[in-house]
Amino acid sequence: MTKPNLLSGMQPSAASLHLGNYLGALTQWVQMQNDFNAFYVIVDLHAITVPQDPKILRDNTRRTAAQYIAAGLDPSKSSLFVQSHVPAHAQLAWVLNCITGFGEASRMTQFKDKSQKGGSDNSSVGLFTYPILQAADILLYQPTSVPVGEDQRQHLELTRDLAMRFNSRFGETFVIPQAQILKESAKIYDLQVPTAKMSKSAQDPKGLINLMDEPNQILKKIKSAVTDTDGEIRFDPSAKPGVSNLLGIQSSLSGEKVSDIEARLKNQGYGALKAEVADVVIESLRPIRERTNELLEDSAELDRLLAKGAEKANEQAEKTLKTVYENLGLVMAL
């Protein structure tokens, strides 16, 4: 039986992925690679929608690939590749730009947030059309499932709308993909501002746990995590966002149910909770950090793996793009 396709991706916009990327996306990618024909992309063309230093971008792209593998993605099972190695992403994005309404694109909340922070003169047109390139990333691979964190829900809705619109105007072309969002770890919050999602652009670096952080850094960050003053270990995201975030992280990494952790640590105070969370985070990330560093020592081998992934990706992407061009009425090159 052929397996259904799956696609997901991350931006190479930092030297390290963070705990939100790991729990919201990567852990489910690792599990799903057995049951799906999976494509995992490093979206370097998305990373250039904001200013980038060329040397750092190149370095972060390889570092992201190494972290994918170190976290458990197996290049012999899934296709791991770099977006710019597959020209069809930019080609399909153009086609989709032409069926997206200006107002529709203007409603994307991530663009609104990012452009408000930087001011509209500093926001590129690439940042504006970012979600349309994302739709192209997805639709080229005809995936049934796209495993992501909660913050990608709106982009997935746009992707589905564009796929349905294209299909109804030009005939069945695209599979309509489903967002696959984990309930427990859909959104990991900043440790210092536990009402904001954990993000690489955190205001205070103590709010963000990186996969490449050393154990003593992790310990310090978790010890200084913002909680509240009532001292009760209880999962209640609206009244107790900091404590609930720690409970969610602990539960996702250990597999223990939140209610069991609450019962076990009842009356023990936040110090005990933080000590446990620090321990499980340190021990979960240690092998990933170590393996990433090993992989980065042989960047030629990493590049070979990415080239192999791009070969498989190109094959699938070219096939979809050809159907798109034909259905659109473009004259096919001889």
Residue 180's H or E segment, with its range, is strand 178-180
Catalytic annotation, residues: 114, 197, 200
Q: Is 250 in the site for ligand TYM (CB under 6 A)?
A: no
Choose, by CB under 6 A, the member of 86, 88, 146, 247 that binds ligand TYM: 146
Q: Is 21 in the site for ligand TYM (CB under 6 A)?
A: yes
Task: In angstroms, give the least distance from the CB of 292 to ligand TYM.
Answer: 16
Q: Is 114 in the site for ligand TYM (CB under 6 A)?
A: no
Max Cα separation, the chain?
Answer: 75
Task: In angstroms, give the least distance from the CB of 291 to ligand TYM.
Answer: 20
Contact segment (CB under 6 A) with ligand TYM among 192-200, 241-249, 251-259, 307-315 equals 192-200
Task: In angstroms, give the least distance from the CB of 237 to ligand TYM.
Answer: 13
C-alpha pair distances (Å), 47 with each of 27, 101, 127, 137, 200: 22, 23, 9, 14, 13
Report the alpha-carbon distance of residue 258 to residue 185 in Å, rounded. Answer: 12
| Torsional sign, CA 58, 118, 211, 145 | negative
Contact segment (CB under 6 A) with ligand TYM among 72-80, 141-149, 223-231, 239-247 equals 141-149
- What interhelical angle do 54-70 and 270-296 show, nearest 10? 110
Q: Tokens in use for 242? A: 């900091």
The three-class DSSP label of residue 183 is coil
Q: Is 47 in the site for ligand TYM (CB under 6 A)?
A: no
- Shortest-Cβ-distance residue relative to ligand TYM: 24
- The answer to whether the beta carbons of residues 220 and 192 sit under 8 Å apart is no
Task: In angstroms, give the least distance from the CB of 300 to ligand TYM.
Answer: 26
The three-class DSSP label of residue 57 is helix
Q: Which residues of the shown chain bind ligand TYM in the complex (CB under 6 A)?
A: 7-11, 20-21, 24-25, 43, 46, 134, 137-138, 146, 148-149, 151-152, 155, 187-188, 197-199
